[in-house]
Amino acid sequence: MAVVPHVKTWWKSAVIYQIYPASFCDSNGDGVGDIAGITSKLDYIASLGVDAIWISPVYDSPQVDMGYDISNYEAIYPPYGTVHSMKDLIKETHARGMRIMMDLVINHTSDQHAWFKDARSSRSSPKRDWYIWRPAKYSSNGDRLPPNNWRCSFGGGSAWEWDESTQEYYLHLWAKEQPDLNWDNEDARKAIYASAMAFWLDLGVDGFRVDTVNMYSKPNDFPDAPVADPAAPFQPAAMLYCNGPRMHEFIGEMNSILAQYGAITVGELLDTADVADILPYVSAEARQLDMIFQFDAVEVGWGRTHKYETTPKNFTLPQFKEAIGKAQNLIMGTDAWTTVFLENHDLSRSVSRLADDRPEFREAGAKMLALLQACLSGTQYIYQGQEIGAINASKEAYPLENYLDISSRLFMEMIKERYGASNKKELDRGFNALQHLARDHSRIPMAWNGTAKYGGFSEEAEQAGVDVKQPWMKPHPLAHEINVATQINDANSVLGWWRKMLQFRKQHEGVLVYGDYYCLGMDDPDTYSFIKQTQDGKGKMLVVLNFAPKEKPWSVPGSEMPMVDVGSSHTPKLTLTTYEGRGGSENLAPFEGRVYTMAVDSRQSNL
């Protein structure tokens, strides 16, 4: 494979910290996180070694989908603050040498947005074509039917909603309160660029995470999706509405505006399995997106017809390795770039999902996963709470009524419709899936101080004498154990380990950020080993991870392992282990991670 040198930029070697505003920090005691709360924690975020923050949506919204249903791109949801609050956050973030990214949600708006209200007011509205409308179909019996069999991404219902006043259906790939914009309409696109992008770029925002970046162009004939779920009337249709015919035209048009500001972009590229379809989005030559999120690794074990139609830990380690390798290999021999992440606002906690969250293993698992992330090539993304080893809430301590996310609620409604509201077996199966995979777990309020009320979520307001309200979501049952205050001054904590790994990553960026990736022992069901090598081949590290809750046999590899050089100067030398004080030749402890230096990194004298 030809070597295509990676052009080094700040955002490629960056650590980007994602913040979910409602759940991060409540500054005024009303139980809802806010922009002022984020600003108050900037010093903490900077102390982790973070280069940029990404703020999930703060725009004005009815909050049907927690801000991903936007009613005004140029206003802030009042409980979060004001545009002035955002200006202050932008200024204070920059003052600490960090950049700030916002969430760009432009596949759809809220049904309360002025554009949609205008569009549904009349078929002759000038903005009617800003959204996607189609007439009804009718069965042989005369029953009204949606235009096709596409399933909404939430629950099991149709992706079309009937509008009684104008007697047509509108498309909503997500909730019925989130109508899809019609990107084929040039006037709509111009309005999107001005209101959702330029307004914030002019205020100093440095870039965007672009939501559902490959869904804007739909096939004009809206064909039926193949039947994957025979028991259901509506079918998964992502293969039809992702990567549509005009997608690259639209993204290129967006980029021409973003480039004027030097803004960076990371696209949420859903349901795109083929590398040939991924590369056009992130090829530097194509000038479309700077990087994308690939979801293969974080979606291992998901159900085929529905995310939650599965059982916990329904995957193998080789499947996980293969998925990681897909993202890593994207940048080998290409001018593309990738990202590294195991958590975000749409995922449950990685320790619970990928390691083991039992008390005796959760800290070891958190450190091992931190080591894995830090050693993979690409831009590093960390989600709030990940740095303290946050885990899913248990079924026993966090009942189903605490789950507030629309996807969780609609999934359980689908279970009731299919199997009956009193079918305990199916309801329990559904709850098991939610306890393992639901988005709610990442949205539970951040635990700052286990001795303060509600885990310290509103700690500053409490200290100021405010009678603080219970958070909008029930606090984590383990907030008294897993929180920032108990870890912040402990170098051996999960938080201390994350700081160490992020520093280590930057010290050895030639290998760890830009290096090539080679997986070893792909079929091993418990141990994950890979080589990272500088593009010039002069620097090399071996990473070894034990994903089992028990000790695993291990010895320093020799010539029998491909890619491992042996000799007086190249014998693997233990550089890091997640278990303090262990030697490099001992068997691997449960969920232990190690890094061995194997050759001299030409950029780093201490390798």
How do beta strands 527-533 and 516-520 pair? antiparallel
| Residues above pLDDT 70, as percent of the chain | 96
Question: Which amino acid makes up residue 202?
Answer: D
Strand partners for 268 = 293
- Catalytic one of 211, 356, 387, 516: 211
Classify the C-alpha dihedral 444-448-451-456 as positive or negative: negative
pTM: 0.96
Asked if 134 contacts 147 with a C-beta cutoff of 8 angstroms, the reply is yes
Structure tokens at 576: 């890091």
The C-alpha atoms of residue 75 and residue 60 are separated, in whole angstroms, by: 5
Mean pLDDT lowest among 223-227, 546-550, 602-606: 602-606
CB atoms within 10 A of CB 340: 24
Q: Does residue 405 surpass a pLDDT of 70? A: yes
* pLDDT tens column, 328-349: 999 999 999 999 999 999 999 9
Checking DSSP bridges between strand 15-19 and strand 52-55, what pairing results, if any? parallel
459 is catalytic: no
Query: Which position has the token pair 């992130």?
Result: 282
Q: What is the pLDDT of residue 511?
A: 97
At 538, the pLDDT band (50, 70, 90 cuts) reads confident
pLDDT score at 444? 98
The whole-number pLDDT of residue 565 equals: 55
Can you tell me which residue has the tokens 């931190």? Answer: 370
b/e 204-225 (16+ beta carbons within 10 angstroms → b): bbbbbbbbbbbbbbbeeebeeb
**In this model, does residue 288 exceed pLDDT 50?**
yes
- Mapped to the 3 state alphabet, what secondary structure does 129-146 carry? HHECEECCEECCCCCEEC
Please state the rounded mean pLDDT for residues 94-105: 98
| Candidates 60, 103, 177, 268; catalytic one | 268
Within 351-432, strands assigned E span 379-383
- Tell me the pLDDT band of 564, cut-offs 50, 70 and 90: low
Report the pLDDT averaged over residues 526-540: 94
Give the pLDDT of residue 346: 97
Q: How does pLDDT run across 64-80, given as a tens digit for each residue?
A: 999 999 999 999 999 99
In this predicted structure, the answer to whether residue 562 has a pLDDT above a threshold of 70 is no
User: Rounded to the nearest 5°, which phi and psi values hold at 171?
Assistant: -85, 135
State the CB neighbour count (10 A cutoff) for residue 91: 13
The set of residues, in sequence order, having a beta carbon less than 8 Å from that of 185 and lying 6+ positions away, is: 129, 130
pLDDT score at 586 = 84
Q: pLDDT tier at 43 (50, 70, 90 boundaries)?
A: very high
For 459-513, write each residue's pLDDT tens digit: 999 999 999 999 999 999 999 999 999 999 999 999 999 999 999 999 999 999 9
Whole-angstrom CA distances from 231 to 235, 378, 418, 419 are 10, 41, 9, 11
CA distance 171 to 160: 5
Active site residue 268: yes
CA 89 to chain CA centroid, nearest Å:
22
pLDDT in tens, 426-444: 999 999 999 999 999 999 9
Give percent of the chain with pLDDT exceeding 90: 91
Please give the mean pLDDT across all residues of the chain: 95
Chain position carrying tokens 């990194």: 601
Residue 360 makes CB contacts below 8 A (sequence gap 6+) with none
